[in-house]
């Protein structure tokens, strides 16, 4: 997270207006705020060098928003948001959301430009991003920690990850679920 959002030409007053709430948001409200914030982004102004990054757009008592710029493919691994729900809007590229399912075939859902979706706070999922994907994620309440899931010697383990760090891929768990 290195680019200050001010360098993106974003209007701070408009972002504050989108974020404004006197309570935590429901998942569909996070998705609507992600869609509204996406309307402020001018993809042509974005620096596309490097692997990409996540830029914090706002964080207040009830929500936070991240502009995710993944210039290379990005797999978040299976993770939870420690009770924070999320709404996601895809600006460019493609992204896949895959809930953690046991005993059935994993069913990633694909989303493209202009599409919005949400995920509950108690869910475990992974996101896979095509190279060049630009998305906005709005979480409520703000993420306190991320729980990363993977297999270690055949056992499912949850490892805490700081809220401002991306979670790594879950190579062993992914392989076990996608045989």
CATH number of 109's domain: 2.60.120.10
Cβ contacts of 62 within 8 Å, gap of 6 or more:
19, 21, 22, 23, 24, 25, 140, 141, 142
Q: What percent of the chain has pLDDT over 90?
A: 83
pLDDT score of 120? 93
Number of independent structural domains in the chain: 1
Domain span at 153: 5-177
Please check the confidence at residue 56 and state whether its pLDDT lies above 60.
Answer: yes
* Cβ neighbours for 155, distance < 8 A, ≥ 6 positions apart: none
Give the pLDDT confidence score for residue 5 in this predicted structure. Answer: 56
96 CB contacts (<8 Å, ≥6 apart)?
108, 109, 110, 111, 127, 128, 129
Question: For the residues 78-90, what does the mean pLDDT come to?
Answer: 97
pLDDT at 147 over 90: yes
Q: Record the pTM.
A: 0.93
């Amino acid at each position: 997270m290195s680019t200050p959002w001010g360098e993106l030409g974003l209007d701070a007053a408009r972002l504050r207006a989108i974020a404004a709430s006197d309570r935590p948001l429901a998942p569909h409200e996070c998705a609507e705020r992600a869609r509204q914030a996406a309307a402020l982004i001018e993809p042509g102004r974005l620096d596309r060098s490097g692997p990409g990054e996540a830029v914090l757009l706002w964080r207040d008592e009830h929500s936070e928003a991240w502009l995710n710029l993944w210039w290379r493919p990005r797999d978040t691994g299976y993770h939870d948001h420690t009770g924070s729900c999320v709404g996601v809007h895809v600006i460019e590229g493609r992204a896949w959301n895959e809930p953690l399912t046991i005993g059935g075939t994993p069913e990633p859902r694909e989303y493209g430009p202009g599409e919005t979706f949400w995920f509950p706070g108690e869910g475990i999922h992974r996101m896979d991003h095509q190279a060049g994907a630009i998305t906005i994620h709005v979480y409520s309440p703000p993420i306190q920690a991320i729980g990363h899931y993977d297999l270690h010697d055949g056992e499912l383990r949850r490892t805490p990850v700081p809220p401002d760090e991306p979670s790594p891929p879950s190579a062993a768990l992914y392989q076990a679920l996608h045989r």
